[in-house]
Amino acid sequence: MATNNQTKAMIEKESLKGRDFLTLLDYSSEEIAYLLQQAYDMKQDTLAGTMPPVLAGKTLGMIFEKHSTRTRISFEVGMIHLGGHGIFMNARDLQIGRGESVYDTGHVLSEFLDGVMIRAKSHKMVEELAEHTSVPVINGLTDIFHPCQAMADLLTIKEVKGDLKGLKLSYIGDGNNVAHSLVIAGAHMGMHVAVATPEGYEYNAGLLEKAKKIAEKNGGSVISTYDPVEAASESDAIYTDVWTSMGQEEEAAKRLIDFKDFQINDQLVGHAHKDYVFLHCLPAHREEEVATSVIDGPNSYVFQQAGNRLHAQKAILASLL
């Protein structure tokens, strides 16, 4: 990996302090590389027991409209590791759940907190909250983006493979929020990203064009296909997500049929490089989107990936707060 001084030099004219973290489209490739290096360094400090309390006295408010395991625990533990404190707030328990405006909520939270992380149903609502909040707002997941997950994904691939530039990253499954952020992240790092979805579940066309332009600037590429074999061919990393996300339960039966040829199984990963990395943001449905032999196999790094949510988010928290 690049040294910390090298990555700091990349963004010496820019400051991350006080900024929001809503989508990776708002960040430069150099800034993302810097955050990845910070995440790597913080992981080493944490493992060595030498993590400095850089956020001592700081408080992060964590708003949840959706259930969470990894997001809640990683942010809460991350604030503890950094010397600060995280407050869990179920949206149903806040006045915003009873009709208080986002405008009022944002201004009130700014009086109490040093930052806000929100896991929400609507990206537009999160954008509105950020507009009316004077402290940094971090997107813990919305219907369109999941940028914190993508940072942990890149950190995991980098730990296993080394330099990200030039690697082929294949996302196979639903063109959802996880896919949106992952492809943009890979484009920033000069990766060759292939997205395979069934017809009717495509990656957002506007975001695809933006990702292509970012990739071209960094020597990478982005393609979209309906053929999972094409996407998996010669791949260095294969990624999938559940076929039915939260809020789509009524579509589950139809999705099982539409996605039946997109399972990540031994036959499909046979088209990838032998040392490919398998990733999944979790929770996973074994024998639906991924075969048990793959997710529990020697090429799977899903638990290291989950653990890296902690370190990627600590880098974001420390840089913004």
Is 281 one of the catalytic residues? yes
Helix axis angle for 29-48 and 302-320, nearest 10°, is 110
Catalytic: which of 123, 280, 281, 311?
A: 281
Catalytic: which of 19, 41, 241, 305?
A: 241
Binding site listing for L-ornithine:
177, 241, 245-246
Catalytic: which of 19, 255, 309, 311?
A: 309
Binding site listing for carbamoyl phosphate:
68-71, 95, 119, 146-149, 281-282, 309
β 85-90/192-196 pair status = unpaired
d(CA 208, CA 36): 23
Catalytic: which of 146, 188, 280, 311?
A: 146
Binding site listing:
68-71, 95, 119, 146-149, 177, 241, 245-246, 281-282, 309
Catalytic: which of 20, 41, 143, 149?
A: 149
Amino acid identity of residue 201, one-letter, is: Y
d(CA 311, CA 309): 6
Catalytic: which of 19, 20, 37, 119?
A: 119
d(CA 286, CA 292): 5
* DSSP codes, 21-84: BS-GGGS-HHHHHHHHHHHHHHHHHHHHT----TTTT-EEEEEESS--SHHHHHHHHHHHHTT-
Instruction: Describe the chain by its helix, strand, coil percentages, rounded to 5.
Output: 50, 15, 35
Is 255 one of the catalytic residues? no
Is 309 one of the catalytic residues? yes
Is 241 one of the catalytic residues? yes
- Which amino acids are annotated catalytic? 119, 146, 149, 241, 281, 309
